[in-house]
Amino acid sequence: MAGGAGVSGARAQDSLLETLMRQQADEMGEGFDAASRTVLMPKSTLPTLSPGTVQTTEQAIPHYERLAAEGGWPFIPPSDKLRLGARHPSVVPMRRRLMAGGDLDVSGNLPDVYDSYVEGAVKRFQARHGLIVDGVAKEGTLAAMNIPVTARLNQLRVNLVRLPRWPARFRHAS
């Protein structure tokens, strides 16, 4: 009887994951800047820890090492005006930060306008960092963006050691 409950529980979990995967196809479907993505858009409906987490972490480390060797990313001065349509000097370093993290396409154009491309990149950043995904760069988002690249690199290295201790279903892609 207990074995049947375990199978039923596994089916329920699989069904839940399938539902979440279907939802993610509809979520945050901005197609206008799809070509500007250099990293996949995480979906806020899925858990942060997934079967691909170890591989993604392993791939991120050399990127962050390069960023650290190049001096990291810029500090973004705080402002309460960092939302769609706003023009502010902090948008330029924000664009550079989002480009460094792969959330915004690298281009030569760095206007100080918080346009739809910046908003979409902020949403990707927020989703990747477990923040509320609203596309507005409020205090929590700016604090996360301003964590130095060396601190993020150290977090990746520590997590790469910790991840194998998680259940096997999260460590291996199915």
Query: Which tens digits make up the pLDDT trace of 3-19?
Result: 455 545 555 555 555 55
User: Token pair 């990127």 is at which residue?
Assistant: 63
Domains of the chain by residue range: 32-171
pTM of the model: 0.68
Task: Using pLDDT thresholds of 50, 70 and 90, give the confidence band for residue 163.
Answer: confident
Percent of the chain with pLDDT over 90: 49
Q: DSSP class of residue 52?
A: T
What pLDDT does residue 174 have?
44
- How much is the mean pLDDT over the chain? 78
Residue 10: enclosing H or E segment and its boundaries?
helix 2-26
**CATH of segment(s) 32-171:** 1.10.101.10
User: Token pair 């690298």 is at which residue?
Assistant: 106
